[in-house]
Amino acid sequence: MNDVQILMPAPMPAAVIAALDARFTLHRLWEQPDADVFLAEHGPHMRGLAANTLAGPVGPALFDRLPVLEIVANFGVGYDNIDAGAAAARGITVTNTPGVLDAEVADLAIGLLLATIRRLPQADRYVRDGKWVDAPFPLSPTLRDRTVGILGLGAIGRQIARRLEGFDVAIAYHQRTPRDDVSYAYHDSPVALAAACDVLIAIVPGGDGTRHLVDGAVLAALGRDGILVNVARGSVVDQPALIDALRDGTILAAGLDVYADEPHVPDDLRAMENVVLLPHLGSASEHTRAAMGRLVVDNLVSWFDRGTALTPVPETA
- The catalytically annotated residue of 224, 262, 273, 287 is 262
In three-state form (DSSP H/G/I as H, E/B as E, the rest C), the secondary structure along 63-79 is HCCCCCCCEEEECCCCC
Q: Residue 254 burial by CB count (10 A; 0-12/13-18/19+): exposed, middle or buried? A: buried
Which of 23, 280, 294, 315 is catalytic? The answer is 280
Give the 3-state secondary structure of residue 46.
strand
User: Does the annotation count 286 as an active-site position?
Assistant: no
CA gap 102, 160 in Å, rounded: 9
42 catalytic residue (yes or no): no
Angstrom distances, CA of residue 91 to CA of 70, 87, 214: 7, 6, 34
Three-state helix/strand/coil letters over 265-300 = CCHHHHHCCCEEECCCCCCCCHHHHHHHHHHHHHHH
Contact 29, 7 (CB under 8 A): yes
Q: Is 233 part of the annotated catalytic residue set?
A: yes
| Catalytic option among 233, 264, 270, 306 | 233
Phi-psi region for residue 145, left (φ > 0), alpha (ψ -120 to 50) or beta?
left
| 77 CB-near residues (< 8 Å, 6+ apart) | 96, 97, 98, 101, 102, 156, 283
Q: Is 180 helix (H, G, I), strand (E, B) or coil?
A: coil
Asked if residue 4 lies in contact with residue 50, where contact means CB atoms within 8 angstroms, the answer is no
Residue 253 CB coordination number (10 Å): 21
Looking at this protein, which amino acid is placed at residue 187?
A: H
Q: Which residues are catalytically annotated?
A: 233, 262, 280
